[in-house]
Amino acid sequence: MGIILYYLRKLLSVIKNEVLVLPSRVVVALFFLFLLLLPLFTEDPYLLRILTLTSIFAILAASWDLLSGFTGQMNFGHALFFGVGAYGAAMLNKYAGIPPWSTIPLGALGAVLAGLVIGIPCLRLRGTYLALTTLAFPIILMGIVFAFPDLTGGELGISGIARLARSRVANYYIAVVVMLGLCTIMWKITDSNTGIIFHAIREDELAVRASGINTTRYKLLAFSLSGFFAGISGGLYAHFMRIAGPSTLEVSMSFQVVIWAIFGGVATIYGPVGAVFVLFPLMEVLRFWQDYRILMFACVVLLILLYMPDGLFRWLRDKTEKECPRCKIRNVAMRHTCRICTAQLD
Amino acid sequence: MNLLIDIIISGLISGSVFALLAIGFSLIFGVARIVNIAHTAFYMVAAYCIYVVTQRMGFHPLWGMVAAIVLVTLLGIISYKLFINPIREHHGAVLIATIALAMAFQEVMGIIFTGSYLSVPKLIKGYHVILGVKVFYQQLLTFGAALLILAGLWALLMRTKLGLAVRSTAQDREVANLMGINEARVAMATMGLSVGLAALTGAIVVPLTVLEPHMWMHPLVMMMAVVVLGGLGSLKGSFLGAYILGFAEALVVFLAPMGAFLKGSVALSIMILVLLIRPEGLFGVSFEEER
């Protein structure tokens, strides 16, 4: 009994001293609570469906950020990983009869393989060359998909694959829990030693190599990690929609990912996730003007970029928090002294 | 034999289109470091512009071409001033701003022209039979015009003061600025030039293609492949790369089964094979800090 009370008190003190002191942490905690508790209050199938899809795409956007935001390897062909994950899971399920809980990781392993295959030739390229080259890979795969319609279903895709779970609420919980878990893992990766090396590769690759770090290995690691997470999101998408079609490989899919990630703010992980949760439901709200939907979407992106070129969530965070000049710990913007070292905040 | 001539004509025409688009794209990239995804969207807008002037208002196609080039160049400069110039320092933001612009153009055209397939009358009618194959005069005209435009562009870049300013800004922006070149103005002029080229391409190609709001996607991908294959910022490279990919596409379409589906894949695979051997493209200059 005592030990439970001890941990409870510890938890409360962590919440009070670490979470409630910063608006961004409060928002993240509320976001977790909101997503996990929502089905208790409403079981509206439309709302749950939107949020499930949003969660799936949030994984995709965050995985783009892990590769392109952190290591600076601009990837314009992220749909490749998504498509390989979706097609891999769908084909394993349809032709081998494997249930979803193992087809999704296996499809993701296929996406890791795809990441290595495109990573190796792309290691020699940098910047814009890399971006323009990676754009080609999903289109090549799409040609292959169309060329073998017996196996891949051609233009119609593979349909009639197993459901993720029986009920809508279970589907929702699978997508949301996987999304929250994977995004936390990605955030932890970027916070670790490896993440620091990723940052450094983006800033100055030569300097990283000069410090005795094998940048090739780390870049390939970034490609395969990003491929894995994107592949999982592709597999989830295929099993949720119960179809894996060529639309998962389209150029517009790759562009969509880039828009989400940059709109939210690159090299943050929380930025792209938040951007998907803003932009994807926005597209649904705009259904009122069916014809003007994509136009409105494009205008919103353009206008917000004019004022927040670093991304929406970066801008918001900079407005509400500031960094202590002495100990580099973040504080609420209202404070005059740092909450840890009591230095003057400017 | 018939097949061979078909392949040659189709390859020459798509090669010329890709060359014109790729040169415009690499011009603005070289000078202002803007990856303009909306480049081929301007080409689409020009095509629709011609459709309006010729079909809806009933003018001669030549007037349509002039109107398209002027209006689209203006549109390009306005969108540069409004949306790209204020955020030019943020490369990621510029990138998605151009993607959003392209989407916006596509949607506006979709709303006005309802996404159905349209076509535009040929500038000169009739055809000539060469070895049993119909060669339309319009095809020859398009090819000839493309070569003329390329020659004119070369003269502009190599023989005039503006060309010198463009080339020196592309080489080193800071030093060009120190030598008294107004870098912001050169960037804007280049944007106008590059969008104008896209419009011109649209103008000479539109009688041979079908108009629809998604017509910018395929040329965009091929144009980027050409740019990478030839080497960014190399006129000669873009020219050669465009014809290589144009012929590769034509060969696949006419010879391989299911060719229409595979044309993009084969052309892009060629690009990747070349890159494996020469990472800087065929004629690319290696910029040390960028590669």
Whether residue A24 is contained in a domain is answered as no
Contact B272 A121 (CB under 8 A): yes
Interface test with B, best of A75, A120, A255 (most B CBs within 10 A): A255
Say what the pLDDT of residue A150 is: 85
User: Quick check: A232 and A105 in contact, CB under 8 A?
Assistant: yes
Specify whether A170 is located in the same domain as A90.
yes
Contact A310 B90 (CB under 8 A): yes
Least confident of B4-18, B34-48, B58-72, B257-271: B257-271
Specify whether A199 is located in the same domain as A337.
no
Contact B221 A251 (CB under 8 A): yes
Contact B100 A136 (CB under 8 A): no
Say what the pLDDT of residue B291 is: 34
Q: Which residues contact A208 (CB under 8 A, 6 or more apart)?
A: A197, A200, A201, A215
Among B141, B244, B232, B126, which residue's Cα sits nearest to residue A125?
B232
Range ranked top by mean pLDDT from A32-46, A152-166, B260-274: A32-46
Across chain B, how many H-helices and E-strands are there?
11, 2
Q: Which two tokens stand for residue A314?
A: 């970066």
Q: Which two tokens stand for residue B240?
A: 């050669």
Specify whether A155 is located in the same domain as A254.
yes
Contact B272 A133 (CB under 8 A): yes
Specify whether A333 is located in the same domain as A260.
no
Say what the pLDDT of residue A176 is: 94
Whether residue A201 is contained in a domain is answered as yes
Least confident of A31-35, B130-134, B188-192: B130-134
Which residues in A lie closer than 8 A to residue B93 (C-beta atoms)? 262, 305, 309-310
**DSSP, res B211:** B
- CA nearest B252 in A: which residue? A143
Which residues in A lie closer than 8 A to residue B107 (C-beta atoms)? 292, 294-295, 298
- CA nearest A74 in B: which residue? B92
- Distance (Å) from the C-alpha of residue B72 to the closest C-alpha of chain A? 19
Whether residue B202 is contained in a domain is answered as yes
Task: For residue A183, give the CATH number of its domain.
Answer: 1.10.3470
- Specify the DSSP element, H or E, that contains B128: strand B127-130
Contact A262 B266 (CB under 8 A): no
Which residue would you say has higher pLDDT here, B215 or A181?
A181
Whether residue B86 is contained in a domain is answered as yes
Whether residue A124 is contained in a domain is answered as yes
Summarised one tens digit per residue, pLDDT across range B228-264 is 888 776 778 888 889 988 988 888 888 877 667 777 7
Say what the pLDDT of residue B287 is: 47
B104 touches chain A (CB under 8 A): yes
Among B225, B248, B213, which residue's Cα sits nearest to residue B22?
B225
Residue type, position B232, single letter: L
Neighbours of B151 (CB within 10 A): 10
Q: Which residues contact B86 (CB under 8 A, 6 or more apart)?
A: A306
Among A96, A82, A116, A111, which residue's Cα sits nearest to residue A217?
A116
- Distance (Å) from the C-alpha of residue B34 to the closest C-alpha of chain A? 10
Strands B133-136 and B127-130: antiparallel
- Distance (Å) from the C-alpha of residue A21 to the closest C-alpha of chain B? 31
Specify whether A328 is located in the same domain as A234.
no
Whether residue A21 is contained in a domain is answered as no
Summarised one tens digit per residue, pLDDT across range A293-309 is 888 888 888 888 888 88
Residue A66 — pLDDT band, cuts 50, 70, 90? Answer: very high
Specify whether A321 is located in the same domain as A172.
no
Residue B73 to residues B51, B67, B197, Cα–Cα distance (Å): 17, 10, 9
On the 0-12 / 13-18 / 19+ scale of CB atoms within 10 A, A1 is: exposed
Q: Point out the residue among B101, B217, B224 whose CB comes nearest to the CB of A132.
A: B224
Q: Is the pLDDT of residue B205 over 80?
A: yes
Whether residue A32 is contained in a domain is answered as no
Q: Point out the residue among A140, A143, A309 whose CB comes nearest to the CB of B87.
A: A309
Specify whether A316 is located in the same domain as A295.
no
Say what the pLDDT of residue B289 is: 41
Tokens 């910047």 locate to: A127
- CA nearest A250 in B: which residue? B217
Whether residue B233 is contained in a domain is answered as no
- Distance (Å) from the C-alpha of residue B22 to the closest C-alpha of chain A? 12
Residue B55 — pLDDT band, cuts 50, 70, 90? Answer: confident
Domain carrying residue B38: 17-213
Q: Number of structural domains, chain B? A: 1
Whether residue A10 is contained in a domain is answered as no
- Coil, helix or strand at residue B134: strand
- Coil, helix or strand at residue B169: helix
Whether residue A16 is contained in a domain is answered as no
Domain carrying residue A281: 45-308
Mean pLDDT for the stretch of residues A36-58: 92
Say what the pLDDT of residue A4 is: 92
Whether residue B197 is contained in a domain is answered as yes
Contact B276 A305 (CB under 8 A): no
Contact A129 B86 (CB under 8 A): no
Residue A197 — pLDDT band, cuts 50, 70, 90? Answer: very high
3-state SS, one letter per residue, for chain A: CHHHHHHHHHHHHHHHHHHCCCHHHHHHHHHHHHHHHHHHHCCCHHHHHHHHHHHHHHHHHHHHHHHHHHCCCCCCCCHHHHHHHHHHHHHHHHHHCCCHHHHHHHHHHHHHHHHHHHHHHHCCCCHHHHHHHHCHHHHHHHHHHHHCHHHHCCCCCEECCCCCCCCHHHHHHHHHHHHHHHHHHHHHHHHCHHHHHHHHHHHCHHHHHHCCCCHHHHHHHHHHHHHHHHHHHHHHHHHHHCEECHHHHCHHHHHHHHHHHHHHCCCCCHHHHHHHHHHHHHHHHHHHHHHHHHHHHHHHHHHHHHHCCCCHHHHHHHHHEEECCCCCCEEECCCCECCCCCCECC
Q: Which residues contact B220 (CB under 8 A, 6 or more apart)?
A: A251, B37, B39, B40, B102
Distance CA B247, CA B14 (A): 8
Specify whether A132 is located in the same domain as A258.
yes
Residue B216 to residues A53, A120, A190, B40, B220, Cα–Cα distance (Å): 28, 30, 37, 5, 6
Q: Report the complex ipTM.
A: 0.82
Q: Point out the residue among A131, A140, A259 whose CB comes nearest to the CB of B268.
A: A140
Q: Number of structural domains, chain A? A: 2
Distance CA A282, CA A289 (A): 12
Q: Which residues contact B173 (CB under 8 A, 6 or more apart)?
A: B183
Least confident of A90-94, A106-110, B209-213: B209-213
Q: What is the dihedral of CA A132, A135, A136, A138, to 10 degrees?
A: 170
Specify whether A302 is located in the same domain as A327.
no
Whether residue B247 is contained in a domain is answered as no
What does pLDDT average to over chain A? 89
User: Quick check: B146 and B9 in contact, CB under 8 A?
Assistant: no
Say what the pLDDT of residue A298 is: 86
Between positions 17 and 36 of A, the ones with CB within 8 A of B are none
What does pLDDT average to over chain B? 84
Which residues in A lie closer than 8 A to residue B275 (C-beta atoms)? 121, 124-125, 133
User: Quick check: A234 and A228 in contact, CB under 8 A?
Assistant: no
Residues in chain B: 291
